[in-house]
Structure 1
Amino acid sequence: MSRLRPTDLAREHGISTQAVRNYERDGFLPPAERTPSGYRIYTRTHAAALRAYLALVTAHGHDAAGRIMNALHRGAVDDALAAVDRGHGQALRDRETLDAVREAVDHLTAAEPRATPGPPARRGPRTIGELAHRLGVTPATLRGWEDAGILAPARDPATGYRVYRANDVRDAELAHLLRRGGYPLEHVATVVRQIRSAGDIDALSASLEEWRRRLTARGLAMLAAATAFHAYLCLVLPDGNSGGL
């Protein structure tokens, strides 16, 4: 194999030679041989490892990329692949959350109040019984949603009873919609937190396109990382053997 210097690897990525040495020290690159005078000898395998690691950083983050490369270099190929799978699994969950939020926002913004005969619609705070009746669920269901972090009603200072204000009703309506769609409580809680952090439906709706763009960029980065990681695997495991390196 042709010999490469640390500067050869560094120049390709616009990083310092010290960074290359640090990556080797931390196990992100395989150990380099040394010349009699102590200089490191890198090869195309090290260059491929560096490309794979930096692509994984972009796609999965520094911590996950380090775990993947360290697992591979200690011969635990399945552990490395499992770490990659976890990243793809999280990306899928993020996409599902985005889709759920978008559906919920569309549902809530389309639910304009309609004029109906009779007394005006209730606008003030609701008790747990009133909200449960509105949604067609039991009070125990609302308490379960509260335990899951979906609802956070205030308490009446005089009685200690739960008080559901407009935002609580909105969150409960949203939770009811998502539960009917089959989403688990943990997922529903994530969606509700997204709406709370945005401040209101309009602010959240405005942020959805940027969220979508970030997910798209991450998905493309994961494809690029998979390509670079596979190229490195072909060098260290030319026969597809998942045994020790």
Structure 2
Amino acid sequence: MRTTDVARESGYSAQQVRDLERLGVIPAARRSGNGYRSYTPLHVRALRAYRALATATGPVEARRLLAELRTATVTEAASAVDEVHARLARERAEVLRAQRALEGIRAEEAGGDDDFMTITQLAQALGVRSSTLRFWEEEGLVRPERVTTLRARRYGLAAIRAARVVVALRAGGYGIPAVREVMAALDGADGLEDARRILRERLDRIAARSVALLRAGTDLAAVVDATRGTPEPPA
């Protein structure tokens, strides 16, 4: 296959095919006597797998994974792909956990309880360091009350609930700016619905990545089989 043939079949431009070959996404093409590249249907499969993997994991991780699969045993290859599925499942679970915490914030506020916790107690309850809570305070994510005479922090129910949401979001892969967006939404007139929307959008993105990973499956199997001399199925 010529470079233009591979480009047409894979959905990339001819220059992108050459660039991805240079980056090691696909094996080096054989060169004919006149220097032209000669590809096989396996290169097309590798490129299609890369496109889907780049959606699922990001381009850097996709390049690393494809290079690994070309030299891995079947067991190692299956384990590597399973880990991507597991990572997406963990991200999804953390966002769902954040959603539950978000709903709990309003439900508990209706109770009007006056309980509070010290910074040490809250850190232990959340499984984070006290320094982490102080950092979140600096970033405006969690606002403790202060006992003025002692300069000691204490956290009422609203701050405790906010801290739970922050923990869930951070564990789910949210950076500080994204967490700040969610927490700011909680303070607005439509805060709860805005925060729900942000989390729903996150779940939608994870779902799209999961589907992309499924789409890569057959092409990834062809790449793995090729390393073991298994006959290549039609592209």
Bin the TM-score by the shorter chain. 0.7 to 0.9
1:170 equivalent to 2:186? Answer: no
Which residue in the other structure is 1:181 paired with?
A: none
Change (3 A) 1:154 1:41: farther
Change (3 A) 1:227 1:17: same
CA contact (8 A) 2:105 2:162 kept: no
1:16 equivalent to 2:13? Answer: yes
Change (3 A) 1:44 1:110: same
**Superposition pairs for residues 101-120 of structure 1, below 5 Å?**
101-111=98-108, 113=110
The correspondence for 2:3, drawn from 2, 6, 26, is: 6
Task: Give the aligned residue type for 1:225.
Answer: A
CA contact (8 A) 2:69 2:77 kept: yes
State the SS of the aligned residue for 1:164.
Answer: strand
Q: Which moved more, 1:28-37 or 1:52-61?
A: 52-61
Which residue in the other structure is 1:126 paired with?
A: none
**How much does 1:12 deviate?**
2.4
1:212 equivalent to 2:198? Answer: no
Q: Which moved more, 1:50-59 or 1:226-235?
A: 226-235
CA contact (8 A) 2:50 2:63 kept: yes
Counterpart CA distance in 2 for 1:93 and 1:11 is 36
Aligned identity (percent) is 32
CA contact (8 A) 1:67 1:83 kept: no
1:190 equivalent to 2:171? Answer: yes
Counterpart CA distance in 1 for 2:97 and 2:55 is 26
**Superposition pairs for residues 64-213 of structure 1, below 5 Å?**
64-73=61-70, 75-77=71-73, 80-111=77-108, 113=110, 122=114, 131-132=116-117, 140-144=120-124, 145=126, 147=129, 149=132, 152=137, 153=144, 159-164=150-155, 167-171=158-162, 174=164, 190=171, 196-198=180-182, 199=184, 200=186, 202=192, 203-213=194-204
Question: TM-score, normalised on structure 2?
Answer: 0.72
**How much does 1:65 deviate?**
0.9
**How much does 1:111 deviate?**
3.1
The aligned length equals 209
Question: TM-score, normalised on structure 1?
Answer: 0.70
Q: Any gaps of 5 or more consecutive residues in structure 2?
A: 138-143
Counterpart CA distance in 1 for 2:47 and 2:179 is 40
RMSD after superposition = 3.3
Summarize deviations over 1:171-226 as a string: whole Å, max 9, x none. Answer: 35x47xxxxxxxxx975853697764312151212223222222221111111112
CA contact (8 A) 1:59 1:225 kept: no
The correspondence for 1:37, drawn from 21, 34, 39, is: 34
State the SS of the aligned residue for 1:111.
Answer: helix
Summarize deviations over 1:12-41 as a string: whole Å, max 9, x none. Answer: 233221211121122111121111111111
Change (3 A) 1:59 1:107: same
Change (3 A) 1:18 1:141: same
Task: Give the aligned residue type for 1:87.
Answer: V
Task: Give the aligned residue type for 1:33.
Answer: R
CA contact (8 A) 2:30 2:39 kept: yes
1:57 equivalent to 2:37? Answer: no
- Structure number, greater radius of gyration: 1
